[in-house]
Amino acid sequence: MPMYQPSKRDGLVGFEGGHILDLDTAVKNGVLGEVAVGGFGGGVGEKLDLKKMIEELNLPEVPPVFICPISLEPMQDPVTLCTGQTYEKSNILKWFSLGHYTCPTTMQELWDDTVTPNRTLNHLIYTWFSQKYLQMKKRSEDAQGRATELLNTLKKAKGQARIQALNELQQVVKDHATARKSVVDEGGVVLLSSLLGPFTSYAVGSEVIAILVNLTLDSESKTNLMQPAKVSSIVDILNEGSIETKVNCVRLIEKLMEEKDFEVEIFSSHSLLVALIRLVRDKRHPNGHLSGLGLLKSICLHDKVRSLIVSIGAIPQLMELLSGLSPDSLELALFILDVLSSVPEGRQALKDCSYTVPIMVKLLMRVSESCTEYALSILWSVCKLSPDECSSIAVDAGLAAKLLLVIQSGCSPVLKQHSLELALFILDVPSSVPDGRQALKDSKHLLVIQSGCSALLKQRAAELLKLCSLNYSDTIFISKCKLTRTIQRRQSLGCSFTHISSFVNGSKGGKRLPELKGSNYNLRLFDKEYAKCAAFC
């Protein structure tokens, strides 16, 4: 009988003395995925840190056997339980510290809580990441050297050779962080900026901008790029370019606007604003909507530019786009419309759009709380500008029910209060009283309108809702609403009105008017208004 010969392998085919000799065996049948075979260490004398390699590589795909079932992250110190399942040591010890004595994967009760280091798997993980890391380092070093070569080429290249060098540099910079750093450190930003000017061709300008948006620009570089001739060149390329080039132009302008010494006049040209509106309206390329609206938002935050944005017809064009925008783009568009409504021209343009009020009513409680807030603010602007016309349109579009929905939702107290204020404002408009009054009467949640608001609004809402439930004619209803407001204003001036309130809410004549103390001018005005309304009722 032949004698047993101990294997030279240490528990796994491919291992000897703790070193991997043959990774092809380890990755057989694709267990670990394809790995380029090469000598371990790649000539590096010091041991690489596994944690650092994992963080820097940040690989989207890692062999499943390297992943801890608890954290779903690559393991750095794998240990095996008595069930045969392997976990990251820190994760399984934390599992035990929480009082769990089962295997997280199989849920079997553990008959032995000993954790055994899985050195075989640890070697495989370390070797796999080492090879990937060394490959990445080599590519980065090559990219860094190539970026330097291309910068030197650009200093003397002309025509098509310059375009080819720029195109290659753009690809290198886009893919490698080391190349980006190399370009910045070697003065590449100044060189690239010098290529932008009044006589820059589209082919050169588009490549230069594509490189600059991927670089870290310091204050001096931004100031240099904000020269009128360079800005004009960027705007021209924005008007002419492909969708990718247009987005790059927008990103570069946004970078420049981050500078503290930025002057809005530099980017408030008619040509730029028209180009942005055209980008936002391009239905063939929806990916340009978010970029265009983002830059337009940044620009319209400056008061001086708002009237100019309105003058190019931005409001009706944005209104037409609302129904087809993504939620993120829609929120930006509503923000812009809300900001533009702060100027008289903007409010008038919103009011002149026949579909402004119906669309804003429709958007309440449809997308997000921010969208609801912006839509409500826009409704306020147009209803105040033209109460009779816009209020009746809003009520016909279902505003009363929408406002009640906002008030009973989980929105912020400020938003609820604005909704209540708008509801009360609408009911102050004679033309909208019949429909608005009926909408409030038909609601099953009227009392909810009193929650989350100021004491004055709660009181006003309570009086209004009681008046809505009584069978007054519309004319008397309006007068009693006005009388209620007058009394409430008088209360804020310090007058007791307990018995006046009963008069307003339907009591017959015979009640003596309260004595109004003081000679304050506001109190005398109240006397006249009260007497006028009470006499009519």
Residue 79 confidence (pLDDT):
93
pLDDT tier at 499 (50, 70, 90 boundaries)? Answer: very low
Helix (H) or strand (E) holding 80, with range, is strand 78-80
Q: Mean pLDDT over residues 454-477, rounded?
A: 49
Task: Give which of 233, 238, 231 is closest to 259, Cα–Cα.
Answer: 231
**C-alpha span between 261 and 243 (Å, rounded):** 29
Higher per-residue pLDDT: 31 or 217: 217
Cα angle for residues 174, 176, 180 (degrees, 5° grid): 75
Q: Residue 480 above 60 pLDDT?
A: no
Q: Residue 285 above 60 pLDDT?
A: yes
* Cα Rg of the chain, angstroms: 36
Neighbours of 379 (CB within 10 A): 30
Task: Give which of 76, 155, 89 is closest to 121, Cα–Cα.
Answer: 76
Question: Is-contact 281 294, C-beta < 8 A?
Answer: no
Q: Residue 411 above 90 pLDDT?
A: no
Alpha helix locations (H) across 367-473?
369-385, 387-396, 399-407, 413-427, 433-442, 455-469
pTM of the entire predicted model: 0.60
**218-232, 252-266, 283-297: least confident range:** 252-266
Task: Give which of 443, 442, 413, 419 is closest to 364, Cα–Cα.
Answer: 419
Q: Mean pLDDT over residues 27-53, rounded?
A: 53
Place of tokens 């190399």: 182
Residue 251 confidence (pLDDT):
92
**C-alpha span between 168 and 188 (Å, rounded):** 14
pLDDT tier at 140 (50, 70, 90 boundaries)? Answer: low
Task: Give which of 247, 245, 322, 251 is closest to 287, Cα–Cα.
Answer: 247
Q: Mean pLDDT over residues 465-480, rounded?
A: 49
pLDDT tier at 334 (50, 70, 90 boundaries)? Answer: very high
**Third-level CATH fold of 23-138:** Herpes Virus-1 (3.30.40)
pLDDT tier at 384 (50, 70, 90 boundaries)? Answer: confident
Residue 246 confidence (pLDDT):
92
Residue 218 confidence (pLDDT):
87
The domain limits of the chain are 23-138
Residue 336 confidence (pLDDT):
92
For residue 257, give every residue at least 6 positions away whose Cβ sits within 8 Å of its Cβ, in sequence order, or none. 267, 298, 299
The overall average pLDDT reported for the chain is 73
pLDDT per residue over 66-122, tens digit each?
Answer: 999 998 999 999 999 998 899 999 999 999 898 888 899 888 888 888 899 999 999
pLDDT tier at 486 (50, 70, 90 boundaries)? Answer: low
| DSSP code for 86 | E
Which range has the top average pLDDT, 326-340, 364-378, 381-395, 470-484? Answer: 326-340
Q: How long a stretch of residues is the chain?
A: 537
pLDDT tier at 141 (50, 70, 90 boundaries)? Answer: low
Q: Mean pLDDT over residues 155-172, rounded?
A: 87
**C-alpha span between 435 and 519 (Å, rounded):** 41
**C-alpha span between 56 and 48 (Å, rounded):** 12
Q: Residue 399 above 70 pLDDT?
A: yes
% of the chain residues with pLDDT over 90: 10
% of the chain residues with pLDDT over 70: 65
Which range has the top average pLDDT, 11-20, 268-277, 428-437, 523-532? Answer: 268-277
Strand partners, 56: none
Q: Residue 8 above 90 pLDDT?
A: no
**9-13, 385-389, 479-483: least confident range:** 9-13
pLDDT tier at 417 (50, 70, 90 boundaries)? Answer: low
